[in-house]
């Protein structure tokens, strides 16, 4: 019973992609507010780890959901995206909470880990989306928009494109939101299909005259 409950919870942690993607997409707004209100973006970046942390939990749930239908390319994308999220978390905490780059200015290990994590996350997300749609692990209508959003993110992570890069960054977050909502819609549709198969319409008393 406990194992089934744990499996159910892990399966639906994929929905955490929705709040994680929303926070990621809104991060440029957070940087702007932090810069205007506190005259430094560091206040926001101290709070930013909540977004990749939610995405990490959501990614684990998604992989658990599709792992039995996925191939090696989807698994490679999953592990790369997972590694990227871990590097982003380590880099953000190291730079804005522990101040590692203030002590190692020339090496800037936290900043380098953060930037590397972004690129690795982008590559892994593209592979995960493409492979999951190709293998049928996820519906094409959910995997393809996610893969396109991941590609937008990879472009914005690779170089500074100004305002256009900000738009691509937002689209990356919205891709995760779409994937989480698609998971929810598919789960609801599956529930109703099972319900209708178990209790088809009109099933009950046999046909014939009603008893008086």
Give 49-96 pLDDT, tens digit per residue: 999 999 999 999 988 888 888 889 999 999 999 999 999 999 999 999
CA–CA gap between residue 195 and residue 164 (Å, rounded): 46
Q: pLDDT at residue 4 above 90?
A: no
Residue 148: which of 130, 121, 170, 131 has the closest Cα?
A: 130
CB-neighbour burial class of residue 176 (10 A; exposed 0-12, middle 13-18, buried 19+)? buried
**Tokens 């430094």 -> residue:** 40
Report residue 79 CA to chain centroid gap: 13
Say if 7 falls within a structural domain: no
The answer as to whether 70 is a domain residue is yes
Residue 199 lies in a domain: no
Gyration radius of the chain's alpha carbons: 21
The answer to whether position 126 is within a domain reads yes
Which pLDDT belongs to residue 79? 96
Those residues whose C-beta lies under 8 Å from the C-beta of residue 14, and which sit 6 or more positions away, are 58, 59, 61, 62, 64, 65, 179, 180, 183
> For 13-17, 70-74, 143-147, 190-194, which range has the lowest pLDDT when averaged over its residues?
190-194
- pLDDT confidence of residue 210: 45
Residue 133 domain-assigned (yes or no): yes
Domain around 63: 12-193
Q: How far apart are CA 75 and CA 56, in angstroms?
A: 15
In a domain, 122, yes or no: yes
| Alpha carbon separation from 172 to 31, 77, 112 (Å, rounded) | 17, 16, 21
Helices (H), the chain: 2-12, 17-25, 27-38, 42-47, 50-66, 72-96, 100-103, 109-134, 140-158, 162-198
Q: Is 204 domain-assigned?
A: no
- Per the structure, the count of domains in the chain is 1
In a domain, 46, yes or no: yes
Q: What is the pTM of this model?
A: 0.87
Q: What is the pLDDT of residue 157?
A: 96
């Amino acid at each position: 019973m406990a194992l089934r409950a744990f499996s159910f919870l892990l399966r639906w942690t994929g929905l955490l992609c929705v709040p994680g993607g929303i926070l990621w997409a809104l991060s440029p707004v957070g940087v702007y507010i932090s810069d205007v209100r506190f005259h430094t973006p560091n206040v926001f970046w101290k709070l930013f780890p909540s977004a990749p942390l939610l995405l990490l939990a959501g990614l684990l749930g998604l992989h658990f959901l599709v792992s039995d239908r996925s191939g090696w390319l989807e698994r490679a994308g999953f592990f790369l995206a997972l590694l990227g999220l871990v590097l982003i978390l380590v880099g953000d905490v190291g730079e804005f909470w522990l101040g590692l780059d203030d002590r190692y200015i020339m090496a800037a290990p936290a900043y380098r880990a953060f930037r590397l994590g972004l690129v690795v996350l982008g590559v892994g997300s593209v592979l995960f989306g493409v492979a999951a749609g190709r293998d049928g692990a996820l519906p094409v209508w959910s995997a393809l928009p996610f893969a396109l959003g991941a590609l937008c993110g990879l472009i914005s992570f690779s170089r500074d494109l100004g305002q256009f890069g900000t738009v691509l960054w937002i689209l990356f977050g919205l891709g995760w939101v779409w994937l989480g909502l698609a998971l929810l819609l598919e789960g609801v549709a599956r529930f109703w299909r099972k319900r209708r198969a178990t209790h088809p319409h009109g099933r009950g008393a046999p046909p014939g005259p009603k008893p008086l």
